Amino acid sequence: MPVMTYRDAIKSAMAEEMERDESVVLLGEDIGLYGGTHLVTDGLLDKFGSKRVIDTPIAEGGFTGAAIGMAMMGMRPIVEMMTWNFSFQAADQIIQNAAKIRYFSGGQASVPLVIRGPNGGGVQLSAQHTHSLEGFYGHFPGLKVVAPVTPHDAKGMMIEAIRDPDPVLILEAGALYGTKGEVPEGEYTVEFGKARIAREGTDVSLIGYGRQVNLLLKVAERLQADEGITAEVIDVRSIRPFDEETLVNSVMKTNRAVVVEEQWRWFSVASEVAASIQEHAFDYLDAPVERVSGAETPAPYARNLEAAAFPNEEQIIDAVRRVAYRRA
Amino acid sequence: MATTQSSTKKRKSASSGANGAKPDVPGVSAEKLLEFYNQMVYVRLFEEACQRAFRQGRVGGYLHVYIGQEAVAVGLLDTYQPEDRVITAYRDHAHALLLGSPPNEVMAELYGKGTGIVKGKGGSMHLFDVPNGLMGGYGIVGGHIPLGVGMAYAMAYQQTGGIVQLYFGDGAIHNGAYHEAANLAGLWGKSGMNPTLFILENNQYGMGTSVERATANTDLGSKFASYGIEHEKVDGMDVVAMNEAAHRLSKQVRETGVPFAIEAMTYRIAPHGAADFLEKYRSKEEVKEARKRDPIGLLEQRILDAGAADEEALETIRKANKEIADAAVTFAEESPDPDIAELYTDVYADSPEVHSA
């Protein structure tokens, strides 16, 4: 199978859909001439022209709102948020318009819109440029929210999103644009609302999404080697709709769960996962569900402080020991 | 019968309109004046019925009526073509009615009934009638303006030949959403990609805050000029003046794909919302003075002066429209509540469908 970077997987999905469907257009800051801050759209202006690859002024609310209007007229716009941090500027458009128009129009209008961009931290961008917004956006009915971690899923979910009749937010793993993975040839989609078992195991369920999945896979190897614990790693990948079944089935098998996320714990995805597990698999649990989340602070700048603000291998291993009732 | 009324309101063709006549210049036919009168009275009496229902507690939520501003939408929507789209804020009843939405369904929406035009899910602020070109009423001041600009881009991209009539109030022009959207419209218009007709309904107040209390630069037209959008101020109490500008400027926008802005100088005779009882922000004298230029009164005078119709004929029109409004109220009152299962429909495209008996 061909190997491709996460960045190229997203780009090829957009390019292929643009070839297939003239109603697909791109909007965003410096996505055309500049090539995109993260080069995800590099080369697309030359290929598709300025009517379809639209460089916008730095006005997220304005161009996101305009994209919603385009979508209501039957186009399939893809908005690039240079980073999701800037989406607060467009939050009124995303939440008050995109998420609700189908509903308050009584089903007369729809918003087939994709908004994509890098999410999360890890590259010393400090407080205003570091957020993990999956819990925030996942809160709103009417939106779909996904967070792919592999190039395979990034491409398949992007194509699925473009063809979806409702607004889809793709929270890309900003730190992983250069990572490589296998991507099938030809067109395929990854269905929303289905978690992925990234590693099979029997002793504990490690649950996460985005770049945390890679961390969990590393932890699983260490647990196997050092502690003899065989961990199952679940990549949630679709925040809304949310696949309770896969998580619950995993916990029914392992009887223990550690949920890991980069975002703040309170009112977070991990909290929702923990609640789902206790609702549906209470009798199977041998220990309370552990959450490992980001520090409850604005994101710091200094390398060591930032590292301390996000989940790390030691924290996760400690949590696993707690649910397994083991000493270090 | 209400349905007859609404079907006569459907636009036949723009060329049957005021054919570029200037205000106070003979050239608007008697028939046209009476058509305008009929439409304005239709809106006025419908809105008055809404107000009564609200005060009786039969209509919930917010209610923002169009009383005093009728000449604006009537004059402009006379130019509506089937490929056009209309988008506005929450003072949206008139736009729906004039585009041909059944008055019964509009009233039923206000009553929150299952027969409402958006199934009782939106209420007064969110009327939609997509088949008739109404892309919605929106409740967040300024928030719909980018949508309208994007729709215009899409129409240019799809080469439909349509334009967007994008309505908003003077209160919205101070909102960031307006400025970002106007900037995009001006920019995209440079390559003919933005057939937006902005209609600033300057009714002098953003809720209770007058223009003078909202901005140091009260020349609101200059806020279009900032973004390279040409604009024209029009007497929004004079339906003939509105109509003349509407035909001329919608044609221009349609042909060029370049946005244009009309600042309609109007006045909200009614309170901001039906719950705005005190009106501490303006004097009774001011409202009384404004009523002298009530757009319906002005048109009545014009009709009578021109001998286009006599008082008796006007009374017949009023009576017919009163019946439409009354019938809409009856329809709304007798309609069933929405099926409770509708709560969960229309969240997503694949939300469960409700099949009512």
Indicate which CATH number applies to the domain containing A246: 3.40.50.920
Say if the Cβ atoms of A103 and B346 lie within 8 Å: yes
What is the per-residue pLDDT across A296-308, written as a single tens digit (0 to 9) for each?
999 999 999 999 9
Q: What is the CATH number of the domain that holds B177?
A: 3.40.50.970
B277 CB near a chain A CB, below 8 Å?
no
> Is the per-residue pLDDT at A123 higher than 90?
no
Beta bridge partners, A5, equal: A180
Q: Which of A69, A71, A72 is nearest to A109 (CA)?
A: A72
> Is the per-residue pLDDT at B7 higher than 90?
no
Residue A99's pLDDT is what?
98
Q: Which amino acid is at B321?
A: N
Residue A46 belongs to a domain: yes
SS3 at position B210: strand
> Is the per-residue pLDDT at A67 higher than 70?
yes
> Measured on CA atoms in the order B227, B233, B237, B241, is the torsion positive or negative?
negative
Kindly report the average pLDDT of chain A as a whole number.
97
Q: Which of B17, B115, B157, B85 is nearest to A109 (CA)?
A: B85
Residue B20's pLDDT is what?
38
Q: Give the nearest chain A residue to B143 (CA atoms).
A: A93
Residue B63 belongs to a domain: yes
Give the pair of three-digit tokens for residue B250: 């919608």
Separation in Å, CA A148 to CA A7, A18, A245, B86, B252: 12, 21, 19, 38, 47
B354 CB near a chain A CB, below 8 Å?
no
Domain boundary among A152, A182, A212: A182
| DSSP3 helix / strand / coil % (chain B, rounded to 5) | 50, 10, 40
Annotated active-site residue A60? The verdict is yes
B158 CB near a chain A CB, below 8 Å?
yes
Residue B355 belongs to a domain: no
- Residue B173 DSSP one-character state: G
Higher-confidence residue: B18 or B299?
B299
How many domains in chain B?
A: 1
How many domains in chain A?
A: 2
Section A250-260 average pLDDT: 98
Residue A162 belongs to a domain: yes
- Which residues of B are less than 8 Å from A96 in CB distance? 139-140, 143
What is the per-residue pLDDT across B56-100, written as a single tens digit (0 to 9) for each?
999 999 999 999 999 999 999 999 999 999 999 999 999 999 999
Section A192-219 average pLDDT: 97
Same domain for A226 and A273, yes or no, is yes
Give the pair of three-digit tokens for residue B311: 């008082």
Residue B351 belongs to a domain: no
Section B194-211 average pLDDT: 94
What is the per-residue pLDDT across A8-36, written as a single tens digit (0 to 9) for each?
999 999 999 999 999 999 999 999 999 99
Domain boundary among A128, A149, A182: A182
Beta bridge partners, B332, equal: none
| Those residues with Cβ within 8 angstroms of residue B161's Cβ, 6 or more apart along the chain or in another chain | B81, B83, B155, B254
Same domain for A176 and A208, yes or no, is no
What is the per-residue pLDDT across B318-343, written as a single tens digit (0 to 9) for each?
999 999 999 999 999 999 999 999 99
Residue B27's pLDDT is what?
67
Residue B16 belongs to a domain: no
Q: Chain A: which residues have CB within 8 Å of chain B?
A: 25, 51, 56-57, 59, 61-75, 77, 92-93, 96-97, 101-110, 141-142, 144, 165-166
Q: CA A309, CA B126: separation in Å to the nearest integer?
A: 44
- Name the minimum distance, in Å, from the CA of A104 to any CA of chain B: 5
**Whole domain around residue A129: which residue ranges?**
3-182
Residue A48 belongs to a domain: yes
Same domain for A153 and A265, yes or no, is no
Annotated active-site residue A279? The verdict is no
Section A287-291 average pLDDT: 98
Q: What is the CATH number of the domain that holds A101?
A: 3.40.50.970
Residue A190 belongs to a domain: no
Give the pair of three-digit tokens for residue B206: 């953003």
Say if the Cβ atoms of A65 and B180 lie within 8 Å: yes
Same domain for A170 and A201, yes or no, is no
Same domain for A171 and A223, yes or no, is no
Phi, psi of A149, deg, nearest 5: -115, -25
Count of alpha carbons within 13 angstroms of residue A239, beta-carbon side: 32
Least confident of A147-156, B95-104, B282-291: B282-291
Residue B11's pLDDT is what?
38
> Is the per-residue pLDDT at A322 higher than 50?
yes
Section A149-169 average pLDDT: 98
Same domain for A158 and A207, yes or no, is no
Size of interface A-B (CB pairs under 8 A): 145
> Is the per-residue pLDDT at B23 higher than 50?
no
Residue B147 belongs to a domain: yes
Same domain for A173 and A200, yes or no, is no
- Which residues of B are less than 8 Å from A74 in CB distance? 154, 158
Domain boundary among A132, A159, A182: A182
Q: CA A153, CA A80: separation in Å to the nearest integer?
A: 18
Kindly report the average pLDDT of chain B as a whole number.
91
Q: CA B268, CA B46: separation in Å to the nearest integer?
A: 16
Residue B4's pLDDT is what?
38
Residue B349 belongs to a domain: no
Query: Cβ distance A195 to A243 under 8 Å?
Result: yes
Least confident of A246-250, B15-19, B59-63, B288-292: B15-19
- Name the minimum distance, in Å, from the CA of B99 to any CA of chain A: 16
Same domain for A218 and A172, yes or no, is no
**Whole domain around residue B96: which residue ranges?**
2-11+23-344
Section A37-43 average pLDDT: 95
pLDDT band at B10 (very low <50, low <70, confident <90, very high): very low
- Which residues of A are less than 8 Å from B87 in CB distance? 69
Section B162-190 average pLDDT: 97
Q: CA B124, CA B137: separation in Å to the nearest integer?
A: 8
Separation in Å, CA A3 to CA A44, B28, B44, B217: 21, 71, 66, 58
Per-residue HEC secondary structure of chain A comes to CCEEEHHHHHHHHHHHHHHHCCCEEEEECCCCCCCCCCCCCCCHHHHHCCCCEEECCCCHHHHHHHHHHHHHCCCEEEEECCCHHHHHHHHHHHHHHHCCHHHHCCCCCCCCCEEEEEECCCCCCCHHHCCCCHHHHHCCCCCEEECCCCHHHHHHHHHHHHHCCCCEEEEEEHHHCCCEEECCCCCCCCCCCCCEEEECCCCEEEEECCCHHHHHHHHHHHHHHHHCCCEEEEECCEEECCCHHHHHHHHHHHCCEEEEEEEECCCCHHHHHHHHHHHHHHHHCCCCCEEEEECCCCCCCCHHHHHHHCCCHHHHHHHHHHHCCCCC
Same domain for A75 and A142, yes or no, is yes
**Hey, which residues 235-264 in chain B have their CB within 8 Å of chain A?**
none
